[in-house]
Amino acid sequence: MATQQITGSLVALVTPMTDTGAVDYSALAQLVEFHIEQGTDAIISVGTTGESATLDFDEHVAVIEATVRAAADRIPVIAGTGANNTREAIELTEAAKKAGVVAHLSVTPYYNRPTQAGLIAHFTAIADAVDLPMILYNVPGRTAVDMTTQTTLALSAHPRIIGTKEASGSLERIQALIAGAPEGFAIYSGDDGLGCKTILSGGQGTISVTANVAPALMHQMTSAALRGDEDEALAVDARLASLHRELFCQPNPIPVKWAVAAMGLASPALRLPLLPLTPEFIPQVCAALNSAGIATEGCS
C-alpha cells in the first residue's frame, strides 16, 4: 500500500485490554473493522494513545502485527516505534517493517532530553538504518524536549523522513512548518483542536485521539478541509469541539478508553500507573459524546 501521501484522519488507536491487563486481540481486530467501516484514513498502531509506554517490546511488536493482519491492506497502518534509546527505536522499526506497516511514527526521545543536534543524530540514525518511511513526532508536553521548526525542516531533507506530527499546541509553529517544508513532506496536527485549522492552512491531516470515538465525523471534517470547503470543515469541527477538549480532561488515553468502552467497542481497562476515568469526569465526557451525536451504552 502506497505511503505517498497519507492524508486526512489518522486515528491514534487505543490498545484494548482485558480486565487482567492482557492485550485483547479480538477487540483490536474489531476496532480495526470499525475504523475501516467508518472511513478512517489510516491507523497509528501503538502510539502514546496505544499505551506504548507500558507494552513490553514483544507485546509492542505483536500489537503492530495484529493490526496489520486485521487491516489486510484495506487501510494504511503506521507503527509507533519511538524510544529514548536509539538502538531500541531501530529494533522496533525493523520489526515494524517486517510486520508490513507502510511507515513508522518516531517520537522525540523522552526523559534524557537531547539537544537539537542530538535529535538530528537520533532520527538520522534510525532513518539510515531502516528502509521504511518515517514520520517525526514532536510532543514537548510529554517528552520534555521540543524539536524546533529548524530541526524538523533540517530532517525533512532525509529521503526517508516523509512528515511530522506536531503536537506543541501552536498553530503558528504548524504554519511555519507548512511554509518551510519541501514538496511531499506531510504536516500532521497532533492536537485535535488544531486539526481542522492545520489542514485549512495547507497541512495534510491530523493524527487524532478524537477519531477513536468519532471516526466518520473526523473523516468528514478532514475531507472537507482537504478539498478547501472551509464552511463544512469548520461546521463539523464545531460539533467535535467538546470531544477535542474533554478527551483530555485527564491524561490520554484515560478518557478516550472510557469513551470507547461507553460505545460498547472495548473494555476501559488500562495498565498501571494509569487508572480508569475518575467518576467526577464522566458527565462531561458523556456530554461531549452526546453533543457529537455519538450513541453510547455508558451514558444516559
* Domains identified in the chain and CATH numbers: 8-240 (3.20.20.70)
Structural element, H or E, at residue 281:
none
Is 49 annotated as ligand-binding? yes
Phi, psi of 78 (to 5 degrees): -115, 130
Is 207 annotated as ligand-binding? yes
Q: Are strands 161-166 and 103-107 parallel, antiparallel or unpaired?
A: unpaired
Structural element, H or E, at residue 94:
helix 86-99
Which amino acids are annotated catalytic?
A: 137, 165
pTM over 0.85, yes/no = yes
Residue among 33, 58, 34 nearest 46 (CA): 58
**Maximum CA pair distance of the chain?**
52
Query: How far is it, in rounded angstroms, from Cα 27 to Cα 137?
Result: 27
pLDDT tens string for the chain (300 positions)? 344 589 999 999 999 999 999 999 999 999 999 999 999 999 999 999 999 999 999 999 999 999 999 999 999 999 999 999 999 999 999 999 999 999 999 999 999 999 999 999 999 999 999 999 999 999 999 999 999 999 999 999 999 999 999 999 999 999 999 999 999 999 999 999 999 999 999 999 999 999 999 999 999 999 999 999 999 999 999 999 999 999 999 999 999 999 999 999 999 999 999 999 999 999 999 999 999 999 888 786
